[in-house]
């Protein structure tokens, strides 16, 4: 039932768009929003903002009858803890936000959590995947699965392929560390060996790391960066140094359309693990069409866009029912029976983590194919 | 598999790029006696100018390079004429702090115009031309060879230019004693202009090479300035061969130091900067004049 109404909202949104602009509404609900709007990770932040705006548009169309409007107040977390904390502080103290969509990067969410917890503000991330977010606080929820799934899935997959040694190059960030930790733990449990080399986010030359890892003649490589641009430099330097796969890629390196196109031949036959999205579903097709009609391009990170879109709807439904109050929304989510959105069925465990997980995908001529 | 040859080459590549920035820093120091912390930003500017002409406008490689180098030289000239030259009589600390400010100005302007995200030239989709030596023990791309060769050629050219050309001789005279050089009729302002033009052109060119090899971000300049500063201290203040050797040494120490595993132990690669700055501190403590520099006492006596 809900799904149907949501679908109608998506398809009608472009028609209704004209009618919801500029009408001074009696009641406006403002939610905080926190994401990386500048820096290397802004490519996610902009996608997140676009997807959230589409959701807001659709929600306002659905709410028009009741004379309600939803608004998002954005702050920039710049994909790091320092800016994430400042942004959360501002949303909580200055803007008086009770419910915040975000952060996007795990570093933002983990830094924002202590601030929102203390103020009993609900923090809902559509993209943070660090396993640490699981225990970040009682008021912290997310609809993007923890990387412990991603790391574990790829480790089991590598083991099934008979690979015994994996060379991993990781960025020193919460997201990449989460994946590296989960992968290494599971792969070692299964009898494999992982050699890891790290780099700092400000580093730009990875030839030493690659040369060092290649000396161990690994069975497979695991490329684990925080942002697509770092993946780009890594792929280029690996290619220059004659490194050949098989490659396991985290979902940043393995699902960016630009990278899959630019390194089509090099990445052929690589594997990645990401949240399962049914791209053939009517809702997703309509979302993609709507996104392209509004922003002039296909979404670069469809998975994150869909969890963002769903997250805004979940929060909107919550505040509509129980009011714009952190504690009330927490109670609502705790007695939640699930939401059928574009990214599939979302429901939470006791820690506020989604119950759905990752699936392994193979890269075939520049596209990801579910295994 | 023995990775030492590859590590040496990796070090030589990054060392050459540092040397190209360091040589300009050293030239400017030689004459105006201050560390120009805006110098690395010129390299960053070069990387972005080239991005604009080569990627955004789609020009061919050589014209894009030529105009980039020319623009960087012009920016260097402007900075000298309007900022550093008028302040030349101030203390070196004033100049140093001004240069830090100028650096921030350039960095933030680029950030404003081009956004802070990291970019690469890989949209051009030119596959690297890769050369293999000794089986696969040493792999190097044509671009990397270009980096190393151009560093040496530019350095050699600069060395002969300073030694034999008239302008080169006047630059050397200036760095020995500016007021005396003025007395014998050297056009000081023109010579200092040329120093900025030359060193900025080299830095702009180095910026393109670095961005090809790695990536470009508005933050890259600051990092380059600091590494070049370390190279200049190592090589000896004001010494051109010193800047070359210092740059190469920093590159080699960073890559070989973090790349080698000795007796099961190795320094993690993410600690590259630790090596550079440990070396800097050791030199400042035990050999402040650097490898090729003159001692501060001698320098003072020359100035007075």
* Residue contact A199–B217, C-beta within 8 A: no
User: Does ipTM surpass 0.90 in this model?
Assistant: no
Which of A38, A211, A224 would you mutate first to test chain B, the one with the most B CBs within 10 A? A211
- Domains with residue ranges and CATH for chain B: 4-303 (1.10.3470)
Three-class DSSP labels, A83-120: HHHHHHHHHHHHCCCCEEECCCCHHHHHHHHHHHHHCC
* Residue contact B115–A236, C-beta within 8 A: no
User: Is A202 in the B-facing interface, judged by CB distances under 8 Å?
Assistant: yes
Has residue B75 got a pLDDT over 60?
Answer: yes
Q: What is the pLDDT of residue A5?
A: 54
3-state DSSP helix/strand/coil % of chain A, to nearest 5: 50, 20, 30
- For chain B, what is the mean pLDDT? 87
| A302 in the same domain as A156 | no
> Domains in chain A: how many in total?
2
Q: What is the pLDDT of residue B294?
A: 64
| Cross-chain CB nearest to B116 (options A38, A233, A236) | A38
Three-class DSSP labels, A39-85: CCCHHHHHHHHHHHHHHHHHHHHHHHHHCEEEEEEEEECCCCHHHHH
Q: What is the pLDDT of residue B82?
A: 93
Has residue B65 got a pLDDT over 90?
Answer: yes
Per CB-CB distance under 8 Å, the chain B contacts of A204 are 118, 214-215, 217, 220
* Residue contact B132–A242, C-beta within 8 A: yes
| A41 in the same domain as A188 | no
Q: What is the pLDDT of residue A14?
A: 41
Query: Are the C-beta atoms of B250 and A242 separated by less than 8 Å?
Result: no
Q: What is the pLDDT of residue A1?
A: 47
| A233 in the same domain as A348 | no
B29 φ/ψ angles, rounded to the nearest 5 degrees:
-60, -40
Per CB-CB distance under 8 Å, the chain B contacts of A262 are 122-123, 125
Measured between its terminal Cα atoms, the distance across chain B in Å is: 57
Query: Are the C-beta atoms of B206 and B21 separated by less than 8 Å?
Result: yes
| A291 in the same domain as A200 | no
As a whole number, mean pLDDT of residues A90-115 equals 94
Q: What is the pLDDT of residue B265?
A: 81
Which of A201, A236, A261, A264 would you mutate first to test chain B, the one with the most B CBs within 10 A? A236
Query: Are the C-beta atoms of A103 and A78 separated by less than 8 Å?
Result: no
* Residue contact B215–A233, C-beta within 8 A: yes
User: Cα–Cα distance between B131 and B39 in angstroms, integer?
Assistant: 33
| A322 in the same domain as A307 | yes
| A352 in the same domain as A297 | yes
- B237's tokens: 């203040």
Closest residue in chain B to residue A235, using alpha carbons only: B122
pLDDT tier at B181 (50, 70, 90 boundaries)?
A: confident
Per CB-CB distance under 8 Å, the chain A contacts of B215 are 204, 229, 232-233
As a whole number, mean pLDDT of residues A30-51 equals 90
User: Cα–Cα distance between A261 and A281 in angstroms, integer?
Assistant: 24
Has residue A191 got a pLDDT over 60?
Answer: yes
Q: What is the pLDDT of residue B178?
A: 82
Query: Are the C-beta atoms of A70 and A9 separated by less than 8 Å?
Result: no
**A77-98 tens-digit pLDDT:** 999 999 999 999 999 999 999 9
A76 DSSP β-pair partners:
A35
* Residue contact B116–A39, C-beta within 8 A: yes
Q: Which helix (H) or strand (E) holds A202?
A: none
Per CB-CB distance under 8 Å, the chain A contacts of B255 are 207-208
Q: What is the pLDDT of residue B180?
A: 87
User: Is A233 in the B-facing interface, judged by CB distances under 8 Å?
Assistant: yes
As a whole number, mean pLDDT of residues B53-68 equals 92
* Residue contact B122–A236, C-beta within 8 A: yes
Q: What is the pLDDT of residue B115?
A: 77
* Residue contact B255–A208, C-beta within 8 A: yes
As a whole number, mean pLDDT of residues B44-54 equals 95
As a whole number, mean pLDDT of residues B128-140 equals 80
Per CB-CB distance under 8 Å, the chain B contacts of A229 are 117-120, 215
Non-local CB neighbours of A22 within 8 Å, separated by 6+ positions: none
Has residue A336 got a pLDDT over 70?
Answer: yes
- Chain B nearest CA to A243, separation (Å): 10
User: Is A117 in the B-facing interface, judged by CB distances under 8 Å?
Assistant: no
User: Is residue B49 reached through a cis peptide bond, with omega within 30 degrees of 0 on the bond before it?
Assistant: no
Which of B270, B272, B273, B274 would you mutate first to test chain A, the one with the most A CBs within 10 A? B270
* Residue contact A172–B220, C-beta within 8 A: no
| Cross-chain CB nearest to B269 (options A40, A199, A227) | A199
| Cross-chain CB nearest to A39 (options B6, B13, B117) | B117
| A319 in the same domain as A248 | no
| Buried-state track A128-163, b at ≥16 Cβ within 10 A, e below 16 | bbbbbbbebbebbbbbbbbbbbbbbbbbbbbbeeeb
* Residue contact A240–B115, C-beta within 8 A: no
Angle between helices B142-164 and B4-32 (to 10 degrees): 30
Per CB-CB distance under 8 Å, the chain A contacts of B141 are 240
- A36's tokens: 């990386």
Per CB-CB distance under 8 Å, the chain A contacts of B272 are 203, 208
pLDDT tier at A18 (50, 70, 90 boundaries)?
A: very low
Query: Are the C-beta atoms of B30 and B238 separated by less than 8 Å?
Result: yes
| A179 in the same domain as A62 | no
- For chain A, what is the mean pLDDT? 88
User: Cα–Cα distance between A230 and B119 in angstroms, integer?
Assistant: 9
pLDDT tier at B1 (50, 70, 90 boundaries)?
A: low
Closest residue in chain A to residue B114, using alpha carbons only: A39
As a whole number, mean pLDDT of residues A309-323 equals 95
* Residue contact B10–A208, C-beta within 8 A: yes
pLDDT tier at B137 (50, 70, 90 boundaries)?
A: confident
- For chain A positions 130-189, those within 8 Å of chain B (CB to CB) are 172
Non-local CB neighbours of A57 within 8 Å, separated by 6+ positions: A13, A17, A20
Q: In terms of pLDDT, which residue wins out, A220 or A256?
A: A220
| A163 in the same domain as A72 | no
| A130 in the same domain as A9 | yes
Question: What percentage of chain A reaches a pLDDT higher than 70?
Answer: 93
* Residue contact B269–A208, C-beta within 8 A: yes
| A75 in the same domain as A13 | yes
Query: Rounded to whole angstroms, what are the CA distances from A152 to A43, A143, A267?
Result: 27, 19, 21
Per CB-CB distance under 8 Å, the chain A contacts of B219 are 202
- Chain A nearest CA to B202, separation (Å): 21
Has residue A354 got a pLDDT over 70?
Answer: yes
- Chain B nearest CA to A354, separation (Å): 31
Query: Are the C-beta atoms of A144 and A354 separated by less than 8 Å?
Result: yes
User: Is A280 in the B-facing interface, judged by CB distances under 8 Å?
Assistant: no
User: Cα–Cα distance between A121 and A358 in angstroms, integer?
Assistant: 28
**B244-282 tens-digit pLDDT:** 999 999 999 999 988 888 877 888 888 888 888 898 999
Q: What is the pLDDT of residue B31?
A: 84
* Residue contact A229–B118, C-beta within 8 A: yes
Q: What is the pLDDT of residue B15?
A: 93
- Chain B nearest CA to A44, separation (Å): 12
As a whole number, mean pLDDT of residues A50-69 equals 93
Measured between its terminal Cα atoms, the distance across chain A in Å is: 31
Number of Cβ within 10 Å of residue A369's Cβ equals: 9
User: Cα–Cα distance between A325 and A331 in angstroms, integer?
Assistant: 10
- Chain A nearest CA to B226, separation (Å): 14
Q: What is the pLDDT of residue A22?
A: 39
SS3 call for B89: coil
Number of Cβ within 10 Å of residue A77's Cβ equals: 32
| Cross-chain CB nearest to A200 (options B254, B258, B270) | B270
As a whole number, mean pLDDT of residues B132-148 equals 84
Q: What CATH number corresponds to the domain at position A244?
A: 3.40.50.2300
- B26's tokens: 């050293």
Point out the least confidently predicted range of A23-27, A340-344, B19-23.
A23-27
Point out the least confidently predicted range of A13-22, A188-197, B63-72, B161-170.
A13-22
Has residue A311 got a pLDDT over 60?
Answer: yes
**A197-211 tens-digit pLDDT:** 999 888 888 999 999
pLDDT tier at A15 (50, 70, 90 boundaries)?
A: very low
Q: What is the pLDDT of residue A299?
A: 87
* Residue contact A229–B259, C-beta within 8 A: no
Domain residue limits at A307: 2-146+280-357
| A230 in the same domain as A246 | yes
User: Cα–Cα distance between A16 and B27 in angstroms, integer?
Assistant: 65
Has residue B76 got a pLDDT over 50?
Answer: yes
Closest residue in chain A to residue B253, using alpha carbons only: A208
Has residue B148 got a pLDDT over 80?
Answer: yes
Per CB-CB distance under 8 Å, the chain B contacts of A38 are 115-116
* Residue contact B122–A40, C-beta within 8 A: no
Number of A to B CB contacts under 8 A, please give it.
97
């Amino acid at each position: 039932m809900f799904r149907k109404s949501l679908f109608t909202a998506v398809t009608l949104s472009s028609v209704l768009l004209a009618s919801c602009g500029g009408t001074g509404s009696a009641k406006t609900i403002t939610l905080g929003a926190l994401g990386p709007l500048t820096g290397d990770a802004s490519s996610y932040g902009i996608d997140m903002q676009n997807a959230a705006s589409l959701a807001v548009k659709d929600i306002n169309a659905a709410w028009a009858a009741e004379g309600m409007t939803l608004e998002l107040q954005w702050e920039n977390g710049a994909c790091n803890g320092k800016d994430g904390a400042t942004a959360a502080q501002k949303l909580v103290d200055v803007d008086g936000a009770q419910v915040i969509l975000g952060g996007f990067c795990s570093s933002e969410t983990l830094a924002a959590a202590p601030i929102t917890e203390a103020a009993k503000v609900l923090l809902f991330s559509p993209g943070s995947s660090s396993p640490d977010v699981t225990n970040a606080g009682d008021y912290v929820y997310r609809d993007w699965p923890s990387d412990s799934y991603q790391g574990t899935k790829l480790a089991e997959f590598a083991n099934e392929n008979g690979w015994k040694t994996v060379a991993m190059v990781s960025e020193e960030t919460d997201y990449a560390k989460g994946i590296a930790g989960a992968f290494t733990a599971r792969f070692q449990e299964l009898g494999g060996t992982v050699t890891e080399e790290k780099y700092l986010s400000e580093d730009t030359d990875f030839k030493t790391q690659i040369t060092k890892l290649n000396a161990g003649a690994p069975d497979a490589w695991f490329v684990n960066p925080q942002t697509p641009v770092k993946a780009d430099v890594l792929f280029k330097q690996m290619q220059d140094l004659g490194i050949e796969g098989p490659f396991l890629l985290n979902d940043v390196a393995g699902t960016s359309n630009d990278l899959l196109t630019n390194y089509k031949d090099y990445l052929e036959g690589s594997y990645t693990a990401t949240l399962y999205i049914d791209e053939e579903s009517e809702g997703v097709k309509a979302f993609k069409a709507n996104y392209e009609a509004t922003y002039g391009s296909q979404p670069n990170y469809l998975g994150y866009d869909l969890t963002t879109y769903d997250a805004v709807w979940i929060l909107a439904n919550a505040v509509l029912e129980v009011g714009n109050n952190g504690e009330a929304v927490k109670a609502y989510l705790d007695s939640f029976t699930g939401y059928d959105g574009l990214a599939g069925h979302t429901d939470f465990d006791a820690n506020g983590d989604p119950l759905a997980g990752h699936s392994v995908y193979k890269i075939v001529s520049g596209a990801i194919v579910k295994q | 598999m023995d990775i030492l040859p590859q590590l040496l080459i990796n070090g030589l590549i990054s060392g050459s790029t540092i040397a190209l920035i360091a040589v300009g820093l050293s030239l400017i120091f030689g004459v105006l006696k201050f560390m120009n912390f805006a110098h690395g930003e010129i390299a960053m500017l070069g990387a972005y100018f080239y991005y604009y002409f080569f990627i955004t406008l789609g020009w061919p490689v050589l014209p894009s390079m030529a105009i980039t180098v020319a623009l960087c030289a012009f920016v260097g000239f402007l900075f000298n004429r309007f900022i550093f030259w008028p302040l030349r009589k101030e203390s070196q600390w004033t100049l140093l702090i001004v240069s830090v400010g100028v650096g921030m100005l350039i960095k933030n302007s680029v950030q404003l115009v081009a956004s802070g995200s990291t970019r690469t030239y890989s949209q051009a989709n030119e596959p690297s031309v890769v050369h293999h030596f000794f089986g696969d023990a040493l792999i190097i791309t044509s671009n990397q060879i270009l980096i190393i060769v151009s560093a040496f050629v530019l350095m050699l050219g600069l060395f002969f230019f300073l030694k034999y050309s008239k302008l080169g001789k006047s630059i050397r005279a200036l760095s020995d004693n500016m007021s005396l050089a003025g007395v014998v009729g050297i056009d000081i302002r023109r010579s200092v202009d040329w120093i900025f033009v030359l060193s900025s052109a080299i830095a702009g060119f180095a910026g393109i090479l670095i961005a090809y090899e790695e990536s470009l971000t508005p933050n890259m300049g600051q990092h380059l300035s600091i590494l070049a500063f370390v190279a200049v201290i190592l090589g000896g203040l004001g010494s051109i061969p010193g800047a070359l050797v210092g740059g190469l040494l920093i590159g080699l120490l960073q890559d070989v130091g973090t790349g080698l595993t000795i007796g099961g132990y190795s320094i993690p690669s993410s600690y590259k900067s630790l090596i550079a700055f440990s070396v800097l501190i050791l030199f400042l403590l035990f050999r402040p004049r650097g490898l090729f520099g003159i001692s501060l006492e001698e320098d003072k006596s020359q100035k007075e």
